[in-house]
A = this chain, B = another copy of it.
Amino acid sequence: MDKILRINMGAAGGPQVKSESVGSYAGLGGRALTSTIIAKEVPPLCHPLGEDNKLVIAPGLLSGSAAAMSGRISVGCKSPLTGGIKESNAGGMASQMLGRLGVAAIVLEGKPKEGMLYKLSISKDKVEIKPDNSLKMLGNYAVAEKMKAAHGDKVSCISIGQAGEMKLTGASIAFTDMEFRPTRHAGRGGVGAVMGSKGVKVIVVDDTGCPVRSPKDPGKFKEANQNWVAGLRKHAVTGQGLPTYGTNVLTNVINEAGAYPTKNFMWGRFDTCSKISGETQAETENARGGEGSATHGCHRGCVIRCSGTFYDKDGHYLTKQPEYETVWAHGGNCGIDDIDAIAMLDRLDDDFGLDTIEMGAAIGVAMEAGLIQFGDAQGAINLVKEVGQGTPLGRVLGSGAGLTGRVFGVERVPVVKNQALPAYDPRGIQGMGVTYATSTQGADHTAGYAVTANVLGVGGKVNPLKAEGQIELSRNLQIATTAIDATGMCLFIAFAILDQPETFQALLDLINAFTGAKMTGDDVTALGKNILKLEREFNHKAGFTKEQDRLPDFFKKEKLPPHNLTFLVKDSELDQVYNW
């Protein structure tokens, strides 16, 4: 991966493509690369939808290689949702393909003429950007179909739906999966709105004729990869839990822990959660889908295979197996226990190009405001449809939970840095509260997944109901996560490398055999710290202080049943997360 493709959308005669050497960015991948480019090139006080913001799409360091799990893709920009730096990553096919094409990053820059929409095509021999207003206001599914018809089914697509075109701060960027469906999303932080502001509707990636990337030391690489896969298969979470039930295996676990945020974070348990649990979901999918319902990977090279397919009552494809966060956001968070309705909401979100977490949280807030009742599944579907239609109410909801709360005068709004909290109540899993509060990304479970030691007993044990130990836990996880996000590896590898030193060593061996480096565990830590520092500096220059590293008031005031606790970690402790 030796080149960066810069697309200047604001060039005088229309968008221009420039392919340049990675230069000083060499050796960086994924989040390390996106965050470094944003920190170096984007003025922290610029308008997120203006010409000075950039959208960076970068495969990981190992993407395009034969390394298992290396197909995650990172998207970076100044976030129109949080106002700070953003890295949002996704699965899908694009990362491996861009890796094979030798593209370290696509950088969308400048601002095109108002009202123009473009398609960017990247293949071995040509990079081309052309206007295509026929794509206007199409959903991601229709875009994918059109691209398949035009380019065949061996390419992959990166696209935005109506939400991104409308520049809504809840808009995602969709990546087609192995079935050419736009189901894998860089969901968080409104990255789709930035792509929309650049006027790029779709990027077609075609790696035809590009071989898998070669490691520096093929022998060692092969051996390391074998150990790596064996380690992942050995661990209970990555070898059994996730492959069997997908991420939704967590519903019963988190509900049991009393930390399942129910009805806009009013309770920690959802009475009827078994109706939407991973177990029930798998059963339903198996019953309806037969063979096709087996779990599979979201990208080439995945050995965990936590993805699945959801069929409607008539056995027709509706959407991918909704993820735990989606099932919670549209389910328990809204008091909805209808798995079919949740799947429909997932489908609509994917099609319009919306972050399911942000949308579920926004609807929860709308329910708290009394627009519709908690539990009203059809009402929720109607609300999401309004987003696709671009009605004023739809635009409000599509702008996320924070804005919805402002418009409807709601006080209980679960956001940090204006980004909605995911599916773990910080009063029931206190370590997650530390991550939500202090992450450079706004409330984000993937930024430092303290559920590991707090609930799952992975990587040690820290009592989830006490303040003790949470700062250190979240800090270490945030550092490690940031480094993993640089490799292109799926975050789920964390379970195995936290518990199995030999699997962590296999990962290091894999990286070293591939790149020729001599990375140690300390180097990984240093990498994570460096990226976090860059991100935090960007946020500081964008006007963030420790006062933004706080949970909303109500988590400190309202006790969450069944444990009847508030968030216990003191502000002064939160301020220690970055003192390493």
Contacts and interface: CB of A to CB of B under 8 A. Distances in A.
B553 A47 contact: yes
Contact of A403 (B166, B393, B407): B407
Interface in A369-417: 391-393, 395-396, 399, 403, 406-409, 411
Nearest to A168: B409
A314 to B, nearest CB: 34
A409 B52 contact: no
Contact of A45 (B168, B408, B541, B550): B550
A289 interface: no
Q: How many copies does the complex hold?
A: 2
B407 A392 contact: yes
Tier of interface size on chain A: 35 or more
A21 B41 CA distance: 57
A96 interface: no
B411 A407 contact: no
Interface in A168-222: 168-169, 193, 196-197
A407 B50 CA distance: 15
Contacts of A553: 45-47, 50, 52
Contacts of A169: 406
Nearest to A541: B547
Contacts of A543: 544-545, 547-548
Given A543-B545, A553-B52, A395 B408 contact: yes
A541 to B, nearest CB: 7
Given A392-B391, A393-B392, A399-B406, A411 B49 contact: yes
Interface string A519-542: 000000000000000000000011
A10 interface: no
A408 to B, nearest CB: 7
A167 B409 contact: yes
A459 interface: no
21 contacts: A46-B553, A47-B553, A47-B554, A49-B409, A80-B406, A169-B406, A196-B409, A197-B411, A391-B392, A392-B392, A392-B393, A392-B407, A395-B396, A399-B406, A403-B403, A542-B547, A543-B544, A543-B545, A543-B547, A544-B545, A545-B545
Given A47-B553, A47-B554, A167-B409, 4 more contacts: A50-B411, A50-B553, A392-B396, A392-B407
The 6 closest A-B pairs by CB, nearest first: A167-B409, A543-B547, A392-B393, A392-B392, A395-B407, A47-B411
